[in-house]
Amino acid sequence: MNKNLVELQLQRGRLLKRIASQRTTLAQQLIPLENVSETGSRIYSLLRDGVQRLKKHPLPAVLAVVALVLFKPTSTWRWLRRGVVLWRSWRLLRAWVPELVSRWRTR
């Protein structure tokens, strides 16, 4: 009887070691799927946030559709690009001004 218990304990130990090894292997193999899942979650989150923003502020979307209907799509895209460049420049300038002022004050 004692011999059977020892054999069972040895077998249990080997199985636990094998299970731990399989878990490690599985975790390594699932890393690419986790990355894809995270990317999908980020895209879903961005889309959900975009829809919420459109629900709160529908005017820019309506203006964009009106501009596409009234003007040629090529000129609309040109003005849209100009607007994006202007908006980015404004944000960059707004970020730099406090830094420049603080540098000027320390001199």
What's the pLDDT tens digit per position in 11-54?
A: 999 999 999 999 999 999 988 888 888 888 999 999 999 899 88
**pTM of the model as a whole:** 0.42
CA 31/CA 4 separation, integer angstroms:
41
List, for residues 50-91, the tens digit of each pLDDT value: 899 889 989 988 888 887 788 777 887 888 889 899 989 988
Write down the domain spans for the chain: 1-57, 58-107
Distance CA 19, CA 96 (A): 56
DSSP-assigned letters across all residues of 21-63? HHHHHHHHHTHHHHHHHHHHHHHHHHHHHHHHHHHH--HHHHH
> What is the residue whose two structure tokens read 């820019």?
60
Amino acid at residue number 10:
L
Model confidence over 94-107: pLDDT tens digits? 888 777 777 777 76
